[in-house]
């Protein structure tokens, strides 16, 4: 068991390292601090969920906790040793490997590949958590084998919200700060609820970091909301009108959805950058997000060349599943864009209707005033009031149209872009493998020629190169297989999420329409007797 | 162009158009003279109305007969009333506006040009809508011409007018041509003079309280109705645009839904169907608002103008009368042309008094008619809005129920 593992305890940890483990093995898990205890058993065996019910996700992470000999501040049931006061990213290299072996948690200090004893797999071990989207399928923690198999049942206990936009500073250097609040029971965090202040560039910075790390694996990384010079300038300049308020609200909602998608993603949630983003009080300014950063620029170039190479690849390569899916994605993208344009038009027309109704209401009121028949005059004034109420109705409906429908579509158009990036990444990997193969072939030809020309010294070098390239070919092939698996898995996950998202949002939208109609009925029912009373 | 019989329309318009089509005014249907437009044909530039009369009056050769008339002939009839001095003391029923299919025609043409750029379903859909729109405009213009005739037929004096009878009975072309350019210019100048005069006349304070009050009232009322009418038009247009957008959303959702047979695609198809239905209702709401509210306001815009015209004529007669009085005094003072002045004064006096007498009654009737028309239309508007909102509500409820049940 852990006790015997020859690891170096991380510097800050006491020497209790080993002991707690051995002790805990037999203890009851009900004591406050020892919540971690009971679960430390299942290191090499089935994970016993004896203490675990939906609310104590600690189990999975407890092992690290104990092994890292948490420092004393463990009274509150917390993270598993990710003490960010010492800046080493303890989970810097969380790998995707699933290990049933001894917790070799030396990773903390050694920075080596960390194979957590308890299935800290890239797919978030299910059981317990609920993601901010109000998904409520909480399942019990199972055995490790079961955990591995239940790949698709996501239930997280994690709520992220972005609120309280505040303007900091003045003039052109001003910026909006947003409060990012997290509520979670995941042990990898220090507290259960906490909040930090972040600005827009921080969100972009997070995206850049995640991109750099994960896009090569074929992960679908949720894209952040777009920058808007115009919108922000208005805010900076201090224009206190409804359009800048709208802009801020729109951005806040978009940032919230963005974060929710990130924490919803099992592998991304594990990323220390994400945790840092959520937890750390002061984040270093993300650089390069206000101009085309070097990385961004490179990306652009890559994308361009990819497009070209993609054309040639398509001919020679075909994998039905991926091809089909890519095609689907592309045609869906087209339709979504179309739909988004129409919804935009709807929003505008409804806003127009709103304005025209208000103007008409006033006009009716005036007419009612001039009318000298008392009952008719009153009825006309009432009609003016009904129209006034309709104006409010239309305004709210336009907001629904926008925030529920239009933004949903905009999000998914961007997400589909990310999905395509994923597929492209896979193509690149394939290409690299193919190129390596052809290089290998060339090297072999060179060797053959050398053999024939009988130049022993160069032959040696040639042989070395061949071995090198053989290695590369094998590795690239493996890479390609791996990324294919990831992309496939990511895509399926994405489809599921998309399906859920669309369904829930559209139902929400329909419900808003429903409410409007109910209110309409109320208004006209109130008016009818007034109209009938005209004499 | 389209040749449409009156009664084959999409059901969303036909339901209130049974029975007396005079939707804007409340009129007594009198058995002695009943007029209606039983049919209409739209041909290229012209609309041909079939005016159908049923009468027990001895003036007519038969008890029931029909003739075909065009818009210009209605205008001719209206103008003949206006120009007839005898009718100076009455509110002349306002002339129906010219049938205007230009906007619709333009849209149909644009649609034809854009045929290549849309799918067959989209094209058929849009064509159907435009045809429905065309039909709606058509029905409206028929209604407005009919209302004019009914008003004339209901008026105790105007219904006896010779020109009116000729209009109703003479089954040949009345050879009334539209005004040519010169005549239109003349009209234009006449109007300018008239409005200048009208201002002068209106400035004269009336001794009679009733008329003074009516003058102030009508002026303000007319302006406000004008304002309300144009604002209601704009509002209804926005409403139609919203319905159009919902239509396009339904189509795009349908396309999305037919791409695959996954869960989410079935979902899209159901939502698309829902939007199809709700947008039909929205379109009806806009159409009903148009009929019951916008048309009502437009009609009373014209009627209040006709009432103002009456007041103007009376005012003019009053001024003439006062001038004649002054002239008589002057003549008596100079003792020259006294008889002439006396006769002139008499004539003016009679004219003025005649107008005043009937004007008072006309204005009272106008008020009664107006209140009744507003009541009828507002009640109908509220009832229709309620009906549509409830319909929409039901659709939405059942759809949401199904969708939630599925997931």
What is the per-residue pLDDT across B79-94, written as a single tens digit (0 to 9) for each?
Answer: 999 999 899 899 999 9
How far apart are the CA of A489 and the nearest CA of chain B, in angstroms?
18
User: What is the pLDDT at residue A172?
Assistant: 77
- ipTM (interface predicted TM): 0.84
Instruction: Look at residue A54 and tell me whether its pLDDT is greater than 70.
Output: no
User: What is the pLDDT at residue B275?
Assistant: 94
Residues B378, A535: C-beta atoms closer than 8 Å: no
Q: How confident is the model at residue A191 (pLDDT cuts 50, 70, 90)?
A: confident
Residue among A369, A506, A517 minimizing CB distance to B392: A517
Residues of B in contact with A372 (CB under 8 A): 217, 367
Q: pLDDT by residue (tens digit) across A338-390?
A: 999 999 999 999 999 999 999 999 999 999 999 989 999 999 999 999 999 99
Mean pLDDT, chain B, integer: 85
Instruction: Give the pLDDT mean for A476-495.
Output: 89
Residue where the block lists tokens 């003479």: B170
User: What is the pLDDT at residue B383?
Assistant: 95
Residues B256, A332: C-beta atoms closer than 8 Å: yes
User: What is the pLDDT at residue A81?
Assistant: 37
Residues of B in contact with A499 (CB under 8 A): 262-264, 267
Q: Are B5 and B130 in contact (CB under 8 A)?
A: no
User: What is the pLDDT at residue B117?
Assistant: 72
| Half-sphere exposure (Cβ direction) of A61: Cα atoms closer than 13 Å | 26
CA distance linking residue A152 with residue A140, whole number of Å: 14
How far apart are the CA of A118 and the nearest CA of chain B, in angstroms?
34
Please report, rounded to a whole number, the percentage of residues in chain B having pLDDT higher than 70: 91
Task: Return the number of other C-beta atoms located less than 10 Å from residue B192's C-beta.
Answer: 10
CA distance linking residue B54 with residue B37, whole number of Å: 11
From the number of C-beta atoms within 10 Å of its C-beta (0-12, 13-18, 19+), residue B339 rates as: exposed
Contacts of A211 (CB under 8 A, 6+ apart): A221
Q: Residue A478, Cα to own-chain centre: how many angstroms?
A: 27
Instruction: Look at residue A96 and tell me whether its pLDDT is greater than 90.
Output: no
Name the residue in chain A with its Cα closest to that of B384: A524
Mean pLDDT, chain A, integer: 71
How far apart are the CA of B387 and the nearest CA of chain A, in angstroms?
8
Q: How confident is the model at residue A279 (pLDDT cuts 50, 70, 90)?
A: confident
- Closest Cα partner for B146 from B178, B131, B125, B168? B168
Please report, rounded to a whole number, the percentage of residues in chain A having pLDDT higher than 90: 22
**CA-derived radius of gyration, chain A:** 30
Q: Are A186 and A57 in contact (CB under 8 A)?
A: yes
Residues of B in contact with A513 (CB under 8 A): 278, 392, 396
Q: Helix-strand-coil percent breakdown of chain B, rounded to 5?
A: 70, 5, 20
Q: How confident is the model at residue A121 (pLDDT cuts 50, 70, 90)?
A: very low
Q: pLDDT by residue (tens digit) across B61-71?
A: 888 999 999 99
Of the given ranges (A274-278, A337-341, A400-404, B150-154), which has the lowest mean pLDDT?
Answer: A274-278
Q: How confident is the model at residue B302 (pLDDT cuts 50, 70, 90)?
A: very high
Instruction: Give the pLDDT mean for A8-16.
Output: 42
Q: Which helix (H) or strand (E) segment is A131 a member of?
A: strand A129-131
Q: Are A425 and A216 in contact (CB under 8 A)?
A: yes
Beta bridge partners of B37: B51
Name the residue in chain B with its Cα closest to that of A511: B400
Instruction: Give the pLDDT mean for A450-463.
Output: 81
Please report, rounded to a whole number, the percentage of residues in chain A having pLDDT higher than 70: 64
Residue among B241, B271, B389 minimizing CB distance to A521: B389
User: What is the pLDDT at residue A125?
Assistant: 35
Instruction: Look at residue B113 and tell me whether its pLDDT is greater than 70.
Output: yes
- Closest Cα partner for A86 from A13, A155, A6? A13
Backbone angles phi, psi at A479, to 5 degrees: -55, -45
CA distance linking residue B301 with residue A81, whole number of Å: 80
Residues B235, A357: C-beta atoms closer than 8 Å: yes
Q: How confident is the model at residue B30 (pLDDT cuts 50, 70, 90)?
A: low
Q: What is the DSSP string of A101-129?
A: S--BTTHHHH-S-BB-SS---SSPP-SSE
Q: How confident is the model at residue B361 (pLDDT cuts 50, 70, 90)?
A: very high
User: What is the pLDDT at residue B263?
Assistant: 84
User: What is the pLDDT at residue A303?
Assistant: 59
Q: Please tell me whether residue A469 adopts helix, strand or coil conformation.
A: helix
Instruction: Look at residue A64 and tell me whether its pLDDT is greater than 70.
Output: no
Q: Which helix (H) or strand (E) segment is A199 a member of?
A: strand A193-199
CA distances from A114 to A6, A42, A58, A104, A275 (A): 14, 18, 18, 7, 17
Instruction: Give the pLDDT mean for B323-341.
Output: 88
Helix axes A320-370, A374-400, angle to 10 degrees: 160
Residue among B259, B390, B396 minimizing CB distance to A513: B396
Of the given ranges (A233-242, A441-450, B143-152), which has the lowest mean pLDDT?
Answer: A233-242
Q: What is the largest CA-CA distance in chain B?
A: 106
CA distance linking residue A165 with residue A145, whole number of Å: 44
Q: Are B321 and B405 in contact (CB under 8 A)?
A: no
Residues A514, B378: C-beta atoms closer than 8 Å: no
């Amino acid at each position: 068991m852990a006790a015997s593992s020859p690891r170096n305890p991380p510097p800050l940890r006491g020497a209790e390292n080993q002991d707690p483990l051995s002790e805990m093995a037999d203890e009851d898990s009900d004591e406050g601090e020892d919540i971690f205890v009971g679960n430390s058993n299942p290191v090499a065996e089935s994970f016993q969920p004896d203490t675990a019910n939906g609310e104590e996700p600690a189990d999975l992470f407890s092992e690290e906790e104990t092994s890292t000999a948490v420092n004393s501040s463990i009274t509150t049931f917390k993270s598993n040793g990710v003490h960010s006061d010492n800046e080493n990213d303890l989970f810097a290299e969380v790998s995707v490997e699933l290990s049933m072996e001894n917790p070799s948690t030396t990773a903390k200090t050694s920075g080596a590949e960390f194979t957590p004893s308890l299935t800290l797999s890239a797919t978030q071990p299910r059981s317990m958590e609920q993601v901010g989207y109000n998904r409520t399928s909480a399942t019990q923690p199972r055995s490790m084998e079961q955990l591995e198999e239940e790949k698709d049942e996501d239930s997280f206990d994690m709520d992220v919200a972005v609120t309280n936009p505040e303007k900091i500073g003045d003039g052109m250097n001003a910026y909006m700060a947003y409060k990012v609040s997290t509520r979670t029971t995941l042990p990898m965090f220090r507290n259960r609820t906490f909040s930090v202040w972040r600005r827009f560039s921080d969100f972009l910075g997070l995206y850049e970091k995640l991109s750099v790390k994960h896009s090569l694996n074929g992960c679908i990384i949720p894209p952040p909301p777009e920058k808007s010079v115009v919108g922000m300038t208005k805010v900076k300049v201090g224009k206190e009108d409804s359009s800048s308020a709208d802009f801020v609200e729109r951005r806040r909602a978009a940032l919230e959805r963005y974060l929710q998608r990130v924490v919803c993603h099992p592998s991304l949630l594990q990323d220390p950058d994400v945790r840092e983003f959520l937890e750390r009080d002061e984040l270093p300014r993300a650089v390069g997000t206000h101009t085309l950063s070097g990385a961004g620029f490179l990306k652009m170039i890559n994308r361009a060349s990819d497009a070209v190479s993609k054309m040639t690849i398509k001919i020679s390569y075909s994998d039905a599943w991926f091809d089909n899916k890519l095609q689907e994605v592309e045609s869906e993208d087209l339709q979504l864009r179309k739909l988004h344009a129409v919804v935009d038009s709807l929003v505008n027309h409804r806003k127009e209707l709103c304005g025209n109704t208000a103007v008409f209401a006033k006009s009716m009121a005036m007419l009612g005033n001039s009318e000298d028949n008392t009952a008719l005059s009153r009825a006309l004034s009432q009609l003016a009031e009904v129209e006034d109420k309709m104006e409010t109705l239309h305004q709210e409906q336009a907001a629904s149209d926008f925030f529920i429908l239009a933004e949903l579509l905009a999000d998914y158009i961007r997400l589909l872009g990310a999905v395509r990036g994923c597929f492209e990444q896979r193509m690149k990997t394939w290409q690299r493998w193919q190129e390596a193969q052809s290089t290998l072939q060339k090297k072999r030809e060179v060797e053959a020629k050398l053999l024939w020309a009988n130049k022993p010294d160069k032959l040696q070098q040639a042989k070395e190169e061949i071995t090198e390239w053989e290695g590369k070919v094998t590795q690239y092939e493996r890479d390609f297989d791996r990324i294919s698996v990831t992309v496939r898995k990511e895509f399926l996950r994405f489809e599921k999420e998309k399906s859920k998202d669309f369904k829930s949002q559209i139902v929400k939208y329909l419900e808003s329409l429903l409410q409007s109609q109910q209110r309409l009925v109320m208004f006209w029912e109130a008016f009818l007797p007034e109209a009938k009373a005209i004499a | 162009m389209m040749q449409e019989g009156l009664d084959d329309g999409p059901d969303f318009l036909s339901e209130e158009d049974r029975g007396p089509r005079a939707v804007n005014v409340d009129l007594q249907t009198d058995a002695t003279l009943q007029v209606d437009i039983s049919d209409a044909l739209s041909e290229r530039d012209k609309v041909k109305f079939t005016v159908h009369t049923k009468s027990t009056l001895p003036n007519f050769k038969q008890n029931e007969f029909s003739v075909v008339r065009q818009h210009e002939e209605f205008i001719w009839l209206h103008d003949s009333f206006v120009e007839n001095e005898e009718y100076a003391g009455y509110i002349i029923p306002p002339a129906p506006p010219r049938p205007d299919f230009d906007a619709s025609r333009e849209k149909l043409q644009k649609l034809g040009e854009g045929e290549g750029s849309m799918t067959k379903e989209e094209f058929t859909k849009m064509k159907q809508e435009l045809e429905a729109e065309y039909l709606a405009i058509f029905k409206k213009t028929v209604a407005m011409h009919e209302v004019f005739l009914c008003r004339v037929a209901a008026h105790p004096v105007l219904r006896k007018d010779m020109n009116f009878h000729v209009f109703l009975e003479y089954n040949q072309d009345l050879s009334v041509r539209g005004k040519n350019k010169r005549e239109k210019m003349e009209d234009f100048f006449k109007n300018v003079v008239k409005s200048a005069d009208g201002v002068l006349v209106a400035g004269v304070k009336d001794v009679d309280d009733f008329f003074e009050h009516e003058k102030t009232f009508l002026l303000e009322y007319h302006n406000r109705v004008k304002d309300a009418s144009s604002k209601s038009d704009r509002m209804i247009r926005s409403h139609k645009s919203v319905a159009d957008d919902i239509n396009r959303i339904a189509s795009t959702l349908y396309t999305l839904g037919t791409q695959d047979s996954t869960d989410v695609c079935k979902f899209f198809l159901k939502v698309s169907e829902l939007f199809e239905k709700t947008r039909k209702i929205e379109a009806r709401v806009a159409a009903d608002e148009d009929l019951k509210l916008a048309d009502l306001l437009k009609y009373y815009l014209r009627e209040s103008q006709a009432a103002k015209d009456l007041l103007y004529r009376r005012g003019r007669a009053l001024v003439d009368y006062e001038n004649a009085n002054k002239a008589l005094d002057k003549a008596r003072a100079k003792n020259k042309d006294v008889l002439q002045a006396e006769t002139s004064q008499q004539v003016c006096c009679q004219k003025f008094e005649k107008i005043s007498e009937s004007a008072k009654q006309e204005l009272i009737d106008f008020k009664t008619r107006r209140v009744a028309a507003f009541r009828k239309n507002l009640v109908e508007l509220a009832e229709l809005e309620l009906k549509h909102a409830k319909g929409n509500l039901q659709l939405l409820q059942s759809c949401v129920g199904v969708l939630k049940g599925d997931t």
